[in-house]
Structure 1
Amino acid sequence: MLVLATVGFLVNFWAWALISPLGSAYRDRLDLTGFQQSVLVAVPVIVGSLGRIPVGALTDRIGARVMFPVVSLLTVLPVLFIGLVAESFASLIVGGFFLGLGGTTFAIGVPLVNAWYPPARRGTALGLFGIGMGGTAISAFTTVRLTDNLGAEAPFLIVAGVLVLYAAVAAALLRDAPNRTLPQGSFLARTWATAKLPATGQLSFLYAVGFGGFVAFSVYLPTYLGNAFDLTPEDAAFRTAGFVVLAVAMRPVGGALSDRIGAIPVLVVSFLGITVLAALAALELPLMPIGTIAFLGLAALLGASSGATFAVVGRLAPPEKVGAVTGLVGAAGGLGGFVPPLVMGAVYDRLGDYSLGLALLAVVSLGAALFTRGPVARSARGDARDEPHRT
């Protein structure tokens, strides 16, 4: 079930990230401003983020066995629309809006995996599930090359076929855990009750910084590298893919370390490291070697912090609300990835460089480290004291 969930997450994230590597091509073809280009690559992010709230709640109610194949098939429609129909900025925005559906599968996989694993192994299991983020790396590695070699429609047709194949396999083989707890009450009542949980707000902020930072870089790094360092689209996409691969590889490491030494130390160290490296990147030193070291370090720490955050979700969320909590926290993470590209685009249009945007990341990460060390650590200690009284 972990493998099926991870593959489903990966192929849907592959679809979710199809627009980003082509951002420069769309800019040149449609004569877009820096801000318009940022909006184009960010729209799937915000829809995929906010959509996690109802999708997570629906997964709690009807199960991942139904949700994974249904969402995968629905994602085929915007993939084909963008690849075969969309020709203008407005039509690409419409297609990107519905393409965001692919990003909601995160809120399907987490409750599925969480229900299959005992608490002591959930950090590692959810970290491994996070490898599905690598779908963005596949997109970064292949989209531009497929477009150049096989035509503009090729990446979209291939992804659509993979989604259909996965939906068929998932419908045949995927199973929900037999002991999963079904929620009670209406969607709105359950969502409001979930939003009021202290853990929901705390973890939403941490995930907005950690996973949001990953999403922001994965969708905007090709644009940043092209504008700041004059890299070709293919070179920028290749380097972005390396960033994504490292972040994806570190997510299970963050989860496993959380099982071994606790999530709080992992989060504090990660956010402090992000603070230092973002400040270094803000200096916009030459890409080789200092800039590359800074961005690869950011990739590793953003991935580790994302894995550690969901290790805490698996521990603090009530079993019947894991999907709902995941939806809200995942939405916050995606929204954290939606805002930075817009900020970076606006900063670049106004100032001609990105230093201010990267400096803001350093400030926010420092705040996240202090917040983790304070309120989040106190909540985790309180949960540990309550653990013997749980059934």
Structure 2
Amino acid sequence: MTAPSTVPSTPPAPRRGSRWIEEWDPEDEVFWEAKGKHVARRNLTFSVISEHIGFSVWSMYSVLALFMGPAYGIDPAGKFFLVAVASLVGAVLRVPYGFAVARFGGRNWTVFSAGLLLVPTTALLFVMEPGTSYTTFMIVAILTGVGGANFASSMTNINNFYPQRLKGWALGMNAGGGNIGVAVVQLLGLLVIGVVGAGHPRVLLAVYVPLIVVATVLSVRRMDNLAPVSNDTGAFKEAVRETHTWIMSFLYIGTFGSFIGYGFAFGLVLQNQFGRTPLQAASLTFIGPLLGSLIRPVGGRLADRIGGAKVTLWNFALMAVAAAFVVLASVQHSLGLFIGAFIALFVLTGIGNGSTFKMIPGIYGAKAAAQGLAGEAASVYTRRMSGASMALIGAVGGLGGLGINLALRQSFLTVGSGTGAFVAFLGYYGVCFLVTWAVYLRRSEPGTPGLPATPETKRQPSYAQV
């Protein structure tokens, strides 16, 4: 394969404005300690706020489904399909959102994407009542997908602010703070149901309108654009051709796809398989997403210390064990075992989310070293390729949420429970374990046995510490 270029073909044009930073080199420790880390932390903080609300809007239908009683005339399969559509749109939009950061600036795009969340939230305020057609609910479910796309632009932006040695922690904090929006909206849903009843979903929606406005204003006033991060379509093309982009996408389906898919579906499963009331389901659904979100930075930090591939490998092994207990609980109709195993799965998805995203810049750092790149050239190559790959990997991983909800929908239609779908998820985690080991951890000697090694065969990427 032809080695990709290390820098964009044309330098970025000078930018103007007080919110544009013209020079940025986080790998320079003097620069980082004097200025860089303070700017990076500020941008991380307000990136998390906007992404957090984006996740809440994206997962809104998973909570509103608890409010949709018999008067709405929507069966369990129809509810699963609504949340699946929201998941699909959020995943697909991650591709253009990921590349919008380079085109418009991280701060500028955060302002736009945060303000855009008013559209689905306001639409739901108008339509959330019995008698609204299923088609209307479907159209608004499409609109809520913009909340899921915020993840791609936020992660791509924060990746540019931090040095390689801190990316696992920074990306874990950014994503974990965003992911927790799933748990928060479920907690707020529980509060609304407990205080005013399941007949008043608009109370939940009304809470988010001023929050979106505040997040948008904070982004305007406190975030920055990085001028050195130029629009580079070449990096996108190279990322599409790069095998590791698609391998990591496959693994990210198993971690993030599971997190968001289970987050959307947990309450519906509790209602339809275990007969929980909306209040009973809401009192449980937030626990898994909360713990999975909080532990994501831990997964990133572990990956920084011992290697993302190692953490990811054993995390998939544990996910398979937890999934086996979910299958057992589903067959035995054991609510206690089901909840415990499902919460364990949520925690493990959080760890895996942190470790897999740490692997991405690590992989391209290893490839840069294998190509003989060093210093600024290696940093530029790693930054542009990992940024481009993150947009694609985040999009494909988000499709895992679609797959989980469609699988559960079909399982309920076919056998009346989620057991068949849970067996399929168990098998997927086993395959992810084998892929992680085979690609990133299996020991192999460069060159062909019996032939002398050449400088080219000796210079091979080592991925064990990515």
The verdict on a shared fold, with TM-score over 0.5 as the criterion, is yes
1:202 correspondence with 2:243: no
1:252 correspondence with 2:297: yes
SS in 2 for 1:66: helix
- In the alignment, residue 183 of structure 2 is paired with which amino acid? A
1:162 corresponds to: 211
Establish whether residue 307 from structure 1 lines up as the match of residue 354 from structure 2: yes
Note closer, same or farther for the CA distance 1:382–1:45 as it changes in structure 2 (3 Å cut).
farther
- Deviation at residue 333 of structure 1 after TM alignment: 1.2
Which is helix-richer, 1 or 2? 1
Contact 2:173 2:296 (8 Å CA) reproduced: yes
Q: Is the 8 A contact 1:21 1:233 kept in 2?
A: no
Show the 5 A alignment for 1:186-225: 190-225=235-270
State the match for 2:21 in structure 1: none
Q: TM-score, normalised by structure 1?
A: 0.92
Q: Aligned equivalents of 1:58 and 1:80: distance in 2?
A: 25
1:234 is matched with: 279
Write the distance in 2 (CA, Å) between the matches of 1:239 and 1:379.
43
Instruction: Find out whether 1:113 has 2:177 as its counterpart.
Output: no
User: In the alignment, which residue of structure 1 is the partner of 2:67?
Assistant: 25
> 1:55: which partner in 2?
97
Return the alpha-carbon distance in structure 2 between the equivalents of residues 287 and 115 of structure 1. 46
Q: Contact 1:206–1:368 (CA<8 Å) still a contact in 2?
A: yes
Q: 1:51, 1:331 within 8 Å by CA — same for their partners in 2?
A: yes
Matched residues, number: 382
The CA distance in 2 between the partners of 1:170 and 1:257, in whole Å, is: 30
What does residue 353 of structure 1 align with?
417
Distance of 1:113 and 1:312 partners within structure 2: 15
CA RMSD between the two structures: 2.2
- For 1:298 and 1:305, the matched residues in 2 are separated by 10
Of 73, 76, 92, which residue of structure 1 is paired with 2:118?
76
Local SS of the residue matching 1:353: coil
1:138 is aligned to 184
Q: CA deviation at 1:378?
A: 6.4
Partner residue of 1:171? 220
2:297 and 2:62 map into 1 onto residues whose CA distance is 25
Q: Aligned partners of 2:163, 2:441: CA distance in 1, in Å? A: 22
Which whole-Å deviations, capped at 9, do the CAs of 1:333-382 have from their partners, x for residues lacking one?
A: 11001111111111112111211110111000000000001124469995
Secondary structure of the residue aligned to 1:181 is coil
Deviation string 1:225-272 (CA, Å, 9 cap, x unpaired) is 111211111221221100001111221111000000101111111111
- Equivalent position of 2:46 in the other structure: 4
Identical residues among aligned pairs (%): 25
Distance 1:224 1:112 in 2: 35
Higher relative contact order (CA 8 A, sep 6+): 1
- The letter for the 2-side match of 1:74 is L
**Unaligned residue ranges in structure 1 (runs of 5+):** none
CA distance in 2, matches of 1:382, 1:257: 25
Distance 1:338 1:83 in 2: 25
Please say if residues 147 and 155 of structure 1, whose CA atoms lie closer than 8 Å, have aligned partners that are also in contact.
Answer: no
Distance 1:156-1:212 versus aligned 2 partners, 3 A rule:
same
Alpha-carbon distance change, 184 to 113 in structure 1, aligned in 2, over 3 angstroms: closer
Q: Residue deviations 1:266-301, cap 9 Å, x none? A: 111111111111111112245454223211211111
Tell me how far apart the structure 1 counterparts of residues 265 and 222 of structure 2 sit (CA, whole Å): 36
1:34 and 2:76 correspond: yes
Q: Does structure 2 retain, via aligned residues, the 8 Å contact 1:22–1:144?
A: no
How far, CA to CA, are the matches of 2:64 and 2:281 in structure 1?
11
- Partners in 1 of 2:139 and 2:335 — Cα distance? 38
What residue number does 1:328 align with? Answer: 392
Tell whether the 8 Å contact from 1:145 to 1:234 is kept in structure 2 after alignment.
no
How far apart are 1:177 and its partner, in Å? 4.2
Compared CA separation, residues 160 and 382, structure 1 to 2 (3 A): farther
* CA–CA separation in structure 2 for the residues paired with 1:238 and 1:367: 33
Does the 8 A contact of 1:183 with 1:320 survive in 2? Answer: no
Verify the 8 A CA contact 1:123 1:314 in the aligned structure 2. no
Pair 67,352 (structure 1): closer, same or farther in 2 beyond 3 Å: same
Sort the Cα spacing of 1:67 and 1:382 in 2 relative to 1 into closer, same or farther, 3 A: farther
* Inter-partner Cα distance in structure 2 for 1:248 and 1:287: 26
Unaligned runs of 5+ in 2: 1-42, 365-381, 445-458
**Superposed displacement of residue 190, structure 1:** 4.9
Stretches of 4+ moved more than 6 A in 1?
A: 378-381
Residue 26 of structure 1: how far off its partner (Å): 2.5
Decide whether aligned partners of structure 1 residues 373 and 31 sit closer, same or farther in structure 2, where only a CA change above 3 A counts. Answer: same
Distance 1:289 1:21, change over 3 A: same
Post-superposition shift, 1:24? 3.8
